Amino acid sequence: MIRLSWFNVVSLTLGFAFLYIPMVILVIYSFNKSKLVTVWGGFSTKWYGELMQNEAFLDAAWVTLKVAVISSSIATVLGTMAALVLVRAGRFSGRMLFSGMIYAPLVMPEVITGLSLLLLFIGLGLDRGVLTIVLAHTTFSMCYVSVVVSSRLVTFDWSLEEAALDLGCSKTEAFRLVTLPIIAPAVIAGWLLAFTLSLDDLVIASFTSGPSATTLPIKIFSAVRLGVSPEINALSTIMITIVAVGVITASLVSKRQLVRQKREEQAAFRAQ
């Protein structure tokens, strides 16, 4: 039935070439000896060495990591709560507003989110720094978490939780021992999404950060504005490698789980 015509082959090849060639070029040129980024001057890893000595970049990387871990963890808790409310709480006054506030940040242009939060922080007299970036990132990433988790909760079989209650669990125990383990993959996926969004964010962080805390994207952006630099190429290569290893590992793990699940199902079928 499957006919992979020459047209399909060509469009897939060209499409993936378009997606990947720019990144491959970036990686290759990070090993360029020459300071001139467009001329190949031989193989060298000196830009990685210089990057490791660049205090400003290392500081920014540390701040970024700290913000991402804290904000994605709070966002996962709040987002999961919001997902439970959306799926389970039924009617309550202000439900429309609640679901509106969950979905609106997903489509809100970043410049507007950033501007509005900055105006709030100034109004409150909060000093801009790690705290304000964490607050800002938590707010928009909790909405992504709640979308991911609620799409899992929609198909959740609530009779499992009821069974646990019948068997003498308290409500909290039933949630912790039954519901949470089952929805855990979605919660973890939500955390990962929130974490990446926070690592990646430039616009909102630029509005909400102060001189005391600069994140890596802000640093990269101000360096890149002046033009292409081999140090940034090296930094990009490191980041691309981390993401690629993470995504490939995750997909291999989930593939193996699928295979195991299939094998167990078959075994169960044979046993009948």
Partner 1 sequence: MRKFALIAVPYLWLLALFLVPFLIVLKISLSDIALAIPPYVPKWDWATGFGAFFSQLDFENYIFLTEDDLYWKAYLSSFKIAAISTMFTLLIGYPIAYGMARSPEEWRPTLMMLIILPFWTSFLIRVYAWMGILSQEGLLNQFLLWTGIIAAPLTILNTNTAVYIGIVYTYLPFMILPIYAALDRMDGSLIEAAEDLGCSRLMAFWLVTIPLSKNGIIAGSFLVFIPALGEFVIPSLLGGSGTLMIGKVLWEEFFSNRDWPVASAVAVILLLLLIIPIVLFQRNQQKQAEAEQ
Which lies closer to partner 1 via its Cβ, residue 15 or residue 181? 15
Give the Cα separation of 25 and 263 in Å (integer): 42
**Torsion sign over Cα 56, 62, 65, 67:** negative
Which lies closer to partner 1 via its Cβ, residue 77 or residue 182? 77
Give the Cα separation of 53 and 48 in Å (integer): 9
Which lies closer to partner 1 via its Cβ, residue 107 or residue 268? 107
Is residue 84 exposed (0-12), middle (13-18) or buried (19+ Cβ within 10 Å)?
middle
The nearest distance, CB 212 to partner 1, in angstroms, is 18
Query: What's the angle, vertex CA 235, arms to CA 234 and CA 236, rounded to 5?
Result: 90
3-class secondary-structure state, position 108: coil
The nearest distance, CB 256 to partner 1, in angstroms, is 12
Which lies closer to partner 1 via its Cβ, residue 213 or residue 232? 232
The nearest distance, CB 188 to partner 1, in angstroms, is 15
The nearest distance, CB 11 to partner 1, in angstroms, is 4
Query: What's the angle, vertex CA 157, arms to CA 151 and CA 159, rounded to 5?
Result: 145
Tell me the C-alpha to C-alpha distance, in Å, between residue 52 and each of 26, 57, 228, 244. 19, 8, 19, 21
The nearest distance, CB 191 to partner 1, in angstroms, is 14
Which lies closer to partner 1 via its Cβ, residue 150 or residue 213? 150
Bridge partners (DSSP) listed for residue 32: 43
Beta carbons within 10 angstroms of residue 104's beta carbon? 11
Render the burial of 23-50: b for 16+ CB within 10 Å, e for the rest.
eeebbebbbbeeeebeeeeeeeeebbee
Which lies closer to partner 1 via its Cβ, residue 48 or residue 221? 221
Give the Cα separation of 197 and 199 in Å (integer): 6
Which lies closer to partner 1 via its Cβ, residue 120 or residue 130? 120
The nearest distance, CB 109 to partner 1, in angstroms, is 3
The nearest distance, CB 272 to partner 1, in angstroms, is 27
